[in-house]
């Protein structure tokens, strides 16, 4: 039996498990984009991704300058890994990235989460990871709706036309 019927995407669950600037923004851009398309959106932050919703760290995310072969100097020259490990280099590169993002009107992490929430998107923290990092509800940004288990997470994914995206 063939079924050619196309199901419109109705709901997405975006899981963010990493805390580098680019990983977090990838998740936030996709989340915000989904909200703006009228897609029901849930975001789940786990492990180092929790940095993105932790008040203390959320607006201080860095991009990694070591172990990143796509990291290049302005102009396209290779960026030596040894250089990436020097003090201040990561901060400098991160600040350059942030400036470029600002030019494109990409909001800071807290503002991005607020925009997602304003459009009806829901933001969750992973219970296991929160326990591991000793984080409580009050450590998280006010847009975080709840701290939930993996079982709760799957319960959010019911219904046809739902997709899970892991970043």
Partner 1 sequence: MATKTYAGVNIEVNDEGYMTDSSQWTKEVANEIAKEEGIELTDKHFEVIEYIRNKVAAGESLTIRGINKSGVVNAKIFYQLFPGAPLKKATKISGVPKPVSCI
CA-to-CA distance for 94 and 96, rounded, in angstroms?
A: 5
Provide the strand spans (E) within 51-111.
none
**Strand ranges across the sheet with 40-45:** 144-148, 122-126, 40-45, 11-16, 162-166
CB of 49 vs partner 1, minimal distance in Å: 20
CB of 166 vs partner 1, minimal distance in Å: 20
CB of 104 vs partner 1, minimal distance in Å: 7
Query: Which CB, 29 or 78, lies closer to partner 1?
Result: 29
Q: Which helix (H) or strand (E) holds 142?
A: none
Binding range to partner 1, per CB under 8 A, among 70-78, 85-93, 115-123, 145-153: 115-123
| Token couple for 153 | 């997470």
CA-to-CA distance for 146 and 40, rounded, in angstroms?
A: 17
> Is residue 115 a contact point for partner 1 (CB under 8 A)?
yes
Applying CB under 8 A, the site for partner 1 has a residue count of 16
> Is residue 102 a contact point for partner 1 (CB under 8 A)?
no
CA-to-CA distance for 144 and 117, rounded, in angstroms?
A: 9
CB of 84 vs partner 1, minimal distance in Å: 28
Q: Which residues bind partner 1 (CB under 8 A)?
A: 29, 32-33, 36-38, 104-107, 111, 114-115, 118-120
């Amino acid at each position: 039996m063939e079924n050619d019927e196309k199901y419109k995407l109705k709901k997405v669950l975006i899981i963010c498990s990493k805390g580098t600037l680019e990983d977090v923004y990838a998740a936030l851009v996709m989340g915000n984009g989904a909200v703006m398309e009228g897609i029901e959106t849930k975001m789940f932050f786990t492990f180092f991704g929790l940095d993105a919703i932790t008040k203390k760290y959320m607006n201080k995310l860095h991009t990694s300058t070591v172990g990143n072969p796509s990291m290049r100097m302005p102009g396209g020259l290779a960026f030596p890994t040894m250089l990436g490990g020097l003090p201040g280099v990561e901060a400098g590169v991160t600040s350059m990235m942030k400036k470029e993002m600002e030019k494109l009107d990409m909001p800071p992490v807290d503002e991005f989460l607020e925009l997602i929430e304003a459009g009806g998107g829901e933001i969750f923290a992973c219970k296991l990871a929160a326990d591991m990092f000793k984080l409580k509800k009050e450590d998280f940004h006010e847009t975080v709706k709840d701290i939930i288990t993996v079982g709760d997470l799957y319960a959010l994914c019911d219904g046809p036309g739902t997709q899970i995206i892991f970043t």
